Amino acid sequence: MNNPILGLFAGAIVLVQVAASDFKAATDWLKLPDGRPKIGDMHGDIAVSSKGEVYVSVQDPKAGAQVYAADGRFVRNVPDAPSDFHGFVIRKQRDGEFIYGPRLGAQSIVKIGLDGKVVLMIPASVIPDEFKNHNKEGKSSVALTAMDVAPNGDMYVTDGYASDYVHRFDPSGNYLASFGGKKAPYSFQTLHKIAIDTRFTPARIIGCDRANMRVVHMSLTGEFLGVVATDLLLPAAVAIHGDHAAIGELKGRVTLLDKAGKVVDRLGTYTGPGVGGNGVQPAQWQTGMTNSPHSVTFDARGNLFVAEYNVIGRVHRFDVK
């Protein structure tokens, strides 16, 4: 039976119907390699390749990006993958399949093959200083947190831990423009992660404005299109599949929104000790309950994967029923 709940959309109160979940949580689906007792300190992202392999980023110089088969078996580590990926995506292009991601520590943007070979590196120095943060000595810096690639190959990168600007580059890595920031009409406070929302024509950007507890839309040229949903629990990540957007909320929940921004499902709700932090230990973990969703992604079938912000490393899988 459907349960009506009150929600907010575009500033107005609406009645939202939340149906029984169409997903089932998988138990202990991920299998670590011999000799590795934990995934590792996770403050990054998760993505699925066209082959259905699951890529997980970890703050570990020896295993910066780990690859697991669709059934959870460990396959390999991506050779020489950065250990400071905070947000990355996998996109298949005409000339191959690539990992695109900003390096949080190195202040750069990289495009690498699934074999780990660097194809493109964009230094943060190409971004004009006027779109960066500045310290008391006047030195500029960025803290790039996520990116995605538009259908035409343009790359969009968010400076979510610093200026809250989105920086646009062409497929060759040439700087094009910056938009967003902390001033109106954007008024962002930690534009943590973004995605290209292909549910619309033309495609647009959907972004998680974390500290403002909302998800927003922008055009690919930077126009602020409006608020998608509000009253979320520190929205940290977004992924698109079919007509739905999955929002990973750092405070222990994943919400699925339809194209109108209405809630259609909620998964993994947890309100216990340590929610939103990275120190919850395995003894407290429960199947299907998320403590600190930091990244979300879908496979081709629509199964949902959720990677947490956690020092041990934790990845959930919710299978379509």
89 has pLDDT over 50: yes
**What is the dihedral sign for C-alpha 59, 65, 68, 70?**
positive
Alpha-carbon distances of 219 from 197, 201, 204, rounded to whole Å: 10, 11, 5
Domain region containing 64: 3-130+141-320
Asked whether 70 and 299 are in contact (CB, 8 A), the reply is: yes
pLDDT, residue 275, reads 97
Asked if residue 271 is part of any domain, the answer here is: yes
The residues that bridge with 206 in the sheet, in sequence order, are 195, 217
pLDDT band for 15, please (50, 70, 90 cuts): very low
| Structure token pair of residue 69 | 């088969």
Q: Where are the beta strands (DSSP E) in 94-234?
A: 96-103, 108-113, 118-123, 133-134, 140-141, 146-149, 155-158, 165-169, 175-180, 191-197, 204-209, 214-219, 224-229
Q: Does pLDDT of 87 surpass 50? A: yes
Give the pLDDT confidence of 104-141 residue by residue, as tens digits. 999 999 999 999 999 999 999 999 999 999 998 989 99
In a domain, 136, yes or no: no
The answer as to whether 44 is a domain residue is: yes
Q: Can you tell me the distance from the alpha carbon of 18 to that of 25, in angstroms, rounded to the nearest whole number?
A: 18
Q: Is the distance from CB of 180 to CB of 188 less than 8 angstroms?
A: yes
Residues 6+ apart with CB under 8 A from 94: none
Does residue 31 contact residue 73 with C-beta atoms inside 8 Å? yes
Band (pLDDT 50/70/90 cuts) for residue 21 is: confident
Q: Given a cut of 60, is residue 70 above it in pLDDT?
A: yes
Both structure tokens of 148: 């995605």
- The C-alpha atoms of residue 93 and residue 19 are separated, in whole angstroms, by 37
User: Does the pTM of the predicted model rise above 0.75?
Assistant: yes
- CATH of residue 19: 2.120.10.30
Per-residue pLDDT, 108: 97
- Count of domains observed in the chain: 1
Average pLDDT, the chain: 93
Rounded distance, CA 115 to CA 84, Å?
18
